[in-house]
């Protein structure tokens, strides 16, 4: 992969040959919208791609180039919360109880304290984080706003949404409506939820097409890395890739997983070994490359859609967030590819 403009969508566009040589058929991006944070889960503006990534023009160019190569593009939808800089919340900070947007969030009292941690925030933030004011999904106005965001980018041509912490949105019918409206625009759009556990209630045909399949991840790591798993890298948050599993134990766990969902659902699951929310497997396994190679083989042969976290193919290490989100290494730092493809 060439480093030219690599941190922007122009850089991704320049490296599409590299991605296709790996056999990649779809690109999933963590949040791309304007934000004050490098990970962009603190959304400022759902309609503008962060200028640091090249802005809307760069993304639209990448989207066209990807589609010209029959590559799909999936975006991350953070619809449970926004940021303190989100216009509608910032208006409340400016105008207090006179703001017309009060009911878009869960305000509990006055004054609001968005930045001073020594004082009560007086509003609900995701995971008690005052930087992430949580939407009031009981308000039909914010529900409609979020639905229109979902529709807007589908109309722009994206091929699906990965939905952040969807279980936090408890308003009945929210995700059913989201699915109906997205599928009305593109019946083939892929909707995948970030659900780490048994997901049968999410995969009944009314909400998501698949989930991030950590029920595959955990036993696969427990089998391939075994007693080499470094517990400090997996205990918080834990998806329980320990204790170690024998081949017989692993086979039993996979049979249980295959029995959990209908076959059609198995084929739409997003299978993974690690992600932006976990330590990388190479680090979890104490640098044991054989563990990663075997796990990659199992990932690429298990029913469903295998997800490769950028850099895994060249041995990029990384402990828990933010270390797992390192920049892509220069070629001289690669430890070799864990798989290659050839094209005719």
Q: Which residues are catalytic?
A: 164, 194
Whether the CB-CB separation of 337 and 314 falls below 8 Å is answered with yes
DSSP calls for 304-342? SEEE--TTGGGT----STTGGGPPPPPGGG----S----
- DSSP letter, residue 13: H
Residues 6+ apart with CB under 8 A from 98: none
Q: Is the Cβ–Cβ distance between 113 and 120 less than 8 Å?
A: yes
Whether the CB-CB separation of 34 and 121 falls below 8 Å is answered with: no
Please give the span between the terminal C-alpha atoms of the chain, in angstroms, as a whole number.
Answer: 21
**CA-to-CA distance for 248 and 160, rounded, in angstroms?**
37
Nearest to 78 by CA among 179, 150, 185: 150
User: What is the Cα 86 distance to its own chain's centre?
Assistant: 21
């Amino acid at each position: 992969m060439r480093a030219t403009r690599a941190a922007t969508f122009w850089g991704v566009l320049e490296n599409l040959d590299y991605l296709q040589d790996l056999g990649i058929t779809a690109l999933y991006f963590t949040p791309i919208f304007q934000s004050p944070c490098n990970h962009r889960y603190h959304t400022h503006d759902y309609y503008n791609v962060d200028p640091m990534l090249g802005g809307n023009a760069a993304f639209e160019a990448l989207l066209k180039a990807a589609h010209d190569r029959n590559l799909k593009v999936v975006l991350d939808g953070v619809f449970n919360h926004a940021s303190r800089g989100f216009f509608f919340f910032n208006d409340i900070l400016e105008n207090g109880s006179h703001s017309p947007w009060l009911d878009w969030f869960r305000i509990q009292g006055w004054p609001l304290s968005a930045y001073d941690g020594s004082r009560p925030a007086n509003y609900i933030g995701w995971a008690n984080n005052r930087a992430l004011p949580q939407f009031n999904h009981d308000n039909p106005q914010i529900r409609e706003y979020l639905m229109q965001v979902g529709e807007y980018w589908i109309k722009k041509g994206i091929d699906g949404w990965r939905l952040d912490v969807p279980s936090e949105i408890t308003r009945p019918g929210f995700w059913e409506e989201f699915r109906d409206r997205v599928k009305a625009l593109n019946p083939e759009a892929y909707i995948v939820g970030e659900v780490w556990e048994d997901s049968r209630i999410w995969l009944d045909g009314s909400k998501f097409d698949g989930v991030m399949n950590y029920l595959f991840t955990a036993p696969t790591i427990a089998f391939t890395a075994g007693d080499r798993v470094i517990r400090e890298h997996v205990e918080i948050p834990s998806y329980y890739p320990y204790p170690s599993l024998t081949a017989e134990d692993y086979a039993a766990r996979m049979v249980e997983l295959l029995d959990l969902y209908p076959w059609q659902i198995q084929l739409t699951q997003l299978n993974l070994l690690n992600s932006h929310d976990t330590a990388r497997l190479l680090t979890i396994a104490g640098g044991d490359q054989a563990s990663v190679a075997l796990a990659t083989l199992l990932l690429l042969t298990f029913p469903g859609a295998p997800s490769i976290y950028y850099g895994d193919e060249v041995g990029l290490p990384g402990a828990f967030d933010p270390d797992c989100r390192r920049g892509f290494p220069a070629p001289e730092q690669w430890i070799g590819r864990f798989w290659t493809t050839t094209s005719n």
